[in-house]
Structure 1
C-alpha cells in the first residue's frame, strides 16, 4: 500500500512465502495518527515485530508494549484477543513484522523438533496460538542491517521473492538464537540506553570506514564517548560478539572482496585492512580464502 499525499509519504508492504510465513514491511512518514488492528483468528500466528525508528505501541485487552528504536517484540495473544499497533504522525515509522502460521509451519519444523530447545519447542508446538506469549528485547544490529537489505531490494518477480524469503529466514534464525541464549542467561540481561546504542552504532561506522587503521578497543571507546566495558557489553548484546572479533570479521570480509575483485597483491591487501605483521596477515588471509 502506497500512501496518498494527504495521509503521508511512504509505504506498507505485505509479502507471503511458503509454509505459513510472511512479512509486513513499512517505511513512511505519516501526516495522521494510524492504528492497525490484528483481528481475532482461529489460528493465532506468532508475530515478530522489529522497530527501526520512531516508537510503536502495541495495545491489547490487558497489555501495552511501547517499542523504541532497535527494540523487538515476539508475541502471540490468546485467540480471544485482538491487538492494535499504534503509529504517531510526523515521526518516521519503519518496521518489519514477521508472522508465522505455526500450524502450517509445523511441516517445515517437524524434522527439527527433537533438536530444539524446550523454550522454542513449547512456542512452536502451540499450533493454534492458544497460549498468550510476549517477549520484548533489543535485537542485534546485524538484524537491522538485514532489514535494510530487504528495504533496499530492487529485484523483481521470482528473484525478489527468493531474496526476501532468504533474508526473512536469516532474521528469524538470528532472532531465535538470541532469544534462546537470553532465556538461558537471564541474569546477564541489561537494557541499553538509546544514547548508548547510538554511540555503539558510531563505533560500528568507524570500524567499517577505517579498516586500514589499527585501532584499540580503548581508543574506539574513547572516540565514541563510552568506557571500554560498556562498549564491550553493548557489542555482546547487539552483535553476540566482542569488539575485536567484530573488527576481525569485517577485515576478513574486506580481504575476501579485495582478493576476488582487485589486482592488489597480498602485501597491498594487508595494508588495506590494517594488518602489518606478516604472521598475523597470513592468518587473516587464510581465513579470507577458507
Structure 2
C-alpha cells in the first residue's frame, strides 16, 4: 500500500501538495483548479474551486494501480465536510487505528473531526472512484459572522461528538444539483456566481435533510438495490432523450426488469415524481427549450413532444412558467429583438 500525506492549507496549498504527490499537471483557470494525472500509478482528474465565504468544492475522478492510504492533516479549525460518491467506493477512518467506514456508490457522508487527529482515506487498486467533497470552514474570521447559512451549518453539525461521520443513502435531489454544478457552461464571473449559488443550495438541503422527517425517508430507501436504482436512472435518461414517445408503465417496467410498483417507487425516490409526472415534466422542459430555440409554432411543438391536446399542454405549461406558451414565446422574441 502506498501512503500519501496531505498537509492542511488553502485550496492552492492542497492542490500543490496533490501535484507533488501524484505527479500530475496542475492548471488554474478562473479560480478553478484542475490536476490531470496520467501515470503508471494513477490516472484521472481532481478539480476544485474555493470561495471567500469558506466554501470549497473538490471532485475526484481517478483510478490507482496500487492500494492507497491518503492521510489528511487536521486543521486548527476543522471544516465540516460533505462527501458524495457516484462511482466505486472508498473507506475512511479517524487516524490509522480508527474504525473504517465505507462510502459506496450512492452514499453520502458528513464528517467533522477534532484538531488533533488526521482523516484517512483508503482507495483500492484498479477500482475507478468518483466522488465529490464540499468543505465549509468553521473559522468565524474566514467566513464571517453574518453568514446565516454558515451559522445554521454550525448549529446543525458542530454540536456532534468530537469525531463524527454519518454515512447514509444519497439524497438524489442533491445529486442532481452536483451534476448541475459540474455541467455549468458559462464562463467568467457568471460561472463562479452560478457555482457559488448551487453550493449554497446544496448546503441548505443538507441542513434540511438532517431532520427526523428525512430519517424516515432514508429508512424507506433501503428496499431498492443499487442495480434497481441504476435501472431507474437509465430509463429516466431514455425518457429524457425521447420525450415524444407514448410510454406506458408496462413498457417501462419490462424495459427495466422491475415490477410496476418498484418502478413507481424508484421514480419517487430518484425524482420525487411518479412515472407519468416525470414524463410530463420532461415534455414541458423540452417544449420550453423548443419555444426558445426553434422556429416551430406552438401547435407544432405540442405534437412534436408527444402531447395530443393543446389545451392540456397550455394548462400545465402555465402552471410551471406562470404564463401561456404563446405569451412565453412572444416574450422570448421581444427579448431577442432588443438584445
**How far apart are residue 210 of structure 1 and its match?**
2.1
Q: Is the aligned partner of 1:101 residue 2:113?
A: no
**Match for residue 273 of structure 1 among 298, 305, 327:** 305
For structure 2, the 5+ residue unaligned runs are 1-34, 323-339
Q: What is the distance in 2 between the residues matched to 1:262 and 1:174?
A: 35
Residue 145 of structure 2: SS of its match in structure 1? helix
Structure showing greater relative contact order (alpha-carbon pairs closer than 8 Å, 6 or more residues apart): 1
Q: Name the CA shift for 1:259/1:153 in 2 (closer, same or farther; >3 Å).
A: closer
Q: Is the aligned partner of 1:51 residue 2:85?
A: yes
| Structure possessing the higher radius of gyration over alpha carbons | 2
Q: TM-score normalised to the size of structure 1?
A: 0.83
Deviation sequence 1:151-193 (CA, Å, 0-9, x none): 4456555344323323322333344444434135565342531
Q: Name the CA shift for 1:234/1:24 in 2 (closer, same or farther; >3 Å).
A: same
Contact (CA 8 Å) 2:91, 2:123: kept in 1 or not? yes
Q: TM-score normalised to the size of structure 2?
A: 0.72
Q: What is the distance in 2 between the residues matched to 1:178 and 1:248?
A: 27
**Match for residue 69 of structure 1 among 84, 90, 105:** 105
**How far apart are residue 82 of structure 1 and its match?**
2.1
Contact (CA 8 Å) 1:50, 1:71: kept in 2 or not? yes
1:85-164 equivalent positions in 2, closer than 5 A: 85-104=121-140, 105=143, 107-110=145-148, 122-124=155-157, 126=159, 131-153=162-184, 157-164=188-195
Q: Name the CA shift for 1:168/1:270 in 2 (closer, same or farther; >3 Å).
A: same
Q: What is the distance in 2 between the residues matched to 1:159 and 1:287?
A: 29
Determine the structure 1 residue equivalent to 2:251. Answer: 219
Q: Name the CA shift for 1:232/1:122 in 2 (closer, same or farther; >3 Å).
A: farther
Determine the structure 1 residue equivalent to 2:215. Answer: 183
Q: Is the aligned partner of 1:7 residue 2:41?
A: yes
Q: What is the distance in 1 between the residues matched to 2:138 and 2:223?
A: 30
- CA RMSD in angstroms comes to 2.9
Q: What is the distance in 1 between the residues matched to 2:281 and 2:240?
A: 11
Q: What is the distance in 2 between the residues matched to 1:81 and 1:123?
A: 22
Q: Name the CA shift for 1:15/1:188 in 2 (closer, same or farther; >3 Å).
A: same
Q: Name the CA shift for 1:18/1:239 in 2 (closer, same or farther; >3 Å).
A: farther
Q: Name the CA shift for 1:156/1:88 in 2 (closer, same or farther; >3 Å).
A: farther
Q: Name the CA shift for 1:186/1:92 in 2 (closer, same or farther; >3 Å).
A: closer
